[in-house]
Chains A and B, each alone.
Chain A
Amino acid sequence: MPQHTFRVNGEQVTVNVADDVRLLWVLRDILGVTGPKYGCGVAVCKACTSHVNGRAVTPCTIPVGDLQPTDEVTTIEGLADTVGADLHPMQQAWLDYDVAQCGYCQPGQIMAAVALARRAATEGRTITDADLDGLRNICRCGTYPRIREAIRSGANRM
């Protein structure tokens, strides 16, 4: 079985698994990192949204063989460590606005939100309604209005 080495939440990991197994199942089933949720497996629900080198991705669409040893995968478990705190500002905003209902989509929602906030900050602007409308993460509980409020608040604190 081929070996693959990359970084997950600040630690180097090596797994023995076929090249074409998607990162989501490597994270969940082999490494036990279950924050990224399995919803659809075809990149339409975005519940597994995580970061590779700081950019939002859906691990269900990344063959593990595509990853290089220097690639840094950040899941919801490692998000707070990226700012050296117990909670990332976006997670705190999620608590402040009591966003989660059932909670299944929320790790992906938060990771997508952080990536959006970083992108807006890089472009030197605040988050617009159009930015929020562009989020494809599905929430079947319908917490969308709270998600919008929390993202704006969290982005202001980042």
Chain B
Amino acid sequence: MMGGVIDGIALALTSSLHLRDGYFLEASWDNYFYTRQWNTPPQLQVIVMPSTSDQPGGAGELGVAPSMAAVACAYGRATGTMPTSFPINHGTLSFVPKPTVPPIPPSPTDGLANA
């Protein structure tokens, strides 16, 4: 359920890929804006309601859809403009695309300097 909420936040706001001329501008997870630690709700309480069925079941990724809708509605209330396409921030490219040559960059060499 927690992961579903985190997914829903990303789907509503930032989680998308940009296809240009046959390739994606996103070079890595760092460009693909899934929810990160700095976008995480400071408080999150998950309440699992008691079952009303004799059949086994679960919530699982069902948590994604309602939490995405909740984020979209919250955005609409906060800004006064109801969003109609998602993710809301898709039109804003929030990173500088990496060069595509070479296709796989070498690993950096400054690890110790960053210790």
Contacts and interface: CB of A to CB of B under 8 A. Distances in A.
Interface of A: 20, 22-24, 39-45, 52-53, 55-63, 66-67, 101, 129, 132-138, 140-148
A59 B6 CA distance: 28
Given A67-B112, A138-B30, A145-B43, 9 more contacts: A42-B107, A43-B111, A44-B28, A45-B29, A45-B30, A129-B42, A132-B37, A136-B30, A144-B40
Contacts of A45: 28-30
B110 interface: yes
A44 B41 contact: no
Interface residues of B, number: 28
A9 to B, nearest CB: 17
B44 A59 contact: no
Contacts of A40: 28-30
Contact of A144 (B37, B43, B112, B115): B37
B74 to A, nearest CB: 17
B40 A145 contact: yes
A132 B38 CA distance: 7
B86 interface: no
Contacts of A23: 111
B112 A57 contact: yes
A60 B29 CA distance: 16
Interface of B: 2-7, 28-30, 34-38, 40-44, 105, 107-112, 114-115
A140 B3 CA distance: 8
A141 B112 CA distance: 29
Contacts of A56: 115
A142 B7 contact: yes
A138 B29 contact: yes
Contacts of A129: 42
A133 B3 contact: no
B34 A20 contact: no
29 contacts: A22-B109, A40-B30, A43-B108, A44-B28, A44-B29, A45-B28, A53-B115, A57-B115, A59-B111, A60-B111, A61-B107, A61-B114, A66-B112, A134-B38, A137-B37, A138-B34, A142-B2, A142-B3, A142-B4, A142-B5, A144-B6, A144-B36, A144-B37, A144-B40, A145-B2, A145-B6, A145-B44, A148-B37, A148-B40
